[in-house]
Structure 1
């Protein structure tokens, strides 16, 4: 019996050591599995954006479905699926996915804006107004979308009240957007000469000509970027992307504006979306990667910086 008792502590120690090694191996395997899943997710997601950009919607949905199986709760996946279903005029499926995206990321104005677009395409103005009212506290951009819808309904007083509130409570970027919205409201409610006078005043403040062609946007965005007026770059590029969503250069300027107005994480996301539309343009591709490198530098992500450096080196070779 004495022998048994003297051996027992050794047996217990061996068990504890084995358990510790086993747990360490399980944790290491879990980390490796997570990394593989993330890499696979990103590969599928970017391939989906690429296929969507060239009009292969069925293939894009296939890759996004693969993303869903890897991370069912990622709102960007639902957003992209919703956009594709909307392009295919499958409104029920589009609504399902877009609402999931908005609910998962309520502060993302792009998700809300696309949902509003879905409802307007179906002439469901009341539903569009209702969802902007639900999410109006998420930011001034959401409030201006709501103001535009009230204007569309013919409720100029309510629209103007929202615009004035945004104009008084937020920074210069919000003020510029609110001022443009106010001009739209005035065009419906005030005599032509007063609108013209206000527009001329706006021009002296640097608002300039609006324009609605790709070439006009490119010229104005380059000028604003050269002048380092990044708040205006962000505002103008947002308009450009909204009007011409397949033009990668406009995504570059939007990413540039986001980077220099304090949102490096969103700058990366917009740059990645722009890259999905890019075809055989090394110069612009390099500019996208430079934006991403600067953003990752601000975010302190050394691994991503190395990854971007590698891609830049490949382009130079």
Structure 2
């Protein structure tokens, strides 16, 4: 019996640690009875402890039974109704949970724990209107929930009320990225792009030294098709903050469209060398740079320089973009150089590995191909292409026995690819021809011809 009482005591202490400050004073189960009510207090204590124990082991029905008996004995304790509501909520008995929690909130309207549990009951039923009313009550005593209320208004399509709260919070606390995100969602949902721009213009006017205000306004002007204002805003930012790097994400495009080629190239170089610009944005800029150089090959040296300025070691796509440019141009050595740089950054990229080995084959770098394809087969043991590449390299290096062995192994991994299968047979025919096994050489040659004739 002593061990059981000790367990219950520890369990109750754990419960008290989760109650709001002051709540534990509501039910003084530790006072020494000094009148005829002592027996009642003992019984309440026993029932309340039993309810906590049953809830802890997820016997919510039994917890409810114990709590109802507690309330029958004493209707003045809000914590009884709170715990009763929580257990009903667990049982998905939302009607009973609501009633119990409303009683708790009525007794202690400033208690955010009670209101939060009632809010959860409404949210589980997707009853947004009553959930909003609950949070409105919480906000009256706990203003920190105001931003949550704005989100609820948004979810319930009460956009005007949501914007009103965001304006109040911005005025009181200053702007924040989370509120701006919600504000932009509201403008997008309502199509109020003009209001969105006016809000940003007001911000810029009240705080003309804040770089983010310019950048946000440039983006919104561009999005609405007002490139002239966007360009003017970008140039104004550059005047105020000549060391700004992020502004060049917008400037390079405006310069290109305005025919200011040299300025555009300088802006692109600043972007590529910036530590503030993320890899995705750099990839986008480099793609534009590559497309520009395709039309104006005289600026190829600037493109190469821009990639050397790229200080972001995780941006393998930048190198890959330049590699594809040189590949399309027919400059295979340069393409290989940049594919290898990209692979150093992104060694798990299957496509890069394939491109490197195919270019090495074209450039007759057979020893490198053999080594790289052997490593690739350890990593990708079921990829038939790498068996084929390895077999080609081995044939070119005169290692015909090994080539035949690798190629025959790789055949087992081909799935519905007659072109690749034909390539395998041609290489096997070459291997066996060099090994003076004319019978096998002819067999594989005939198989290759048969597949080629059906294509």
TM-score (structure 2 length as normaliser): 0.33
TM-score (structure 1 length as normaliser): 0.45
Larger Rg: 2
Higher normalized contact order (CA 8 Å, seq sep 6+, divided by chain length): 1
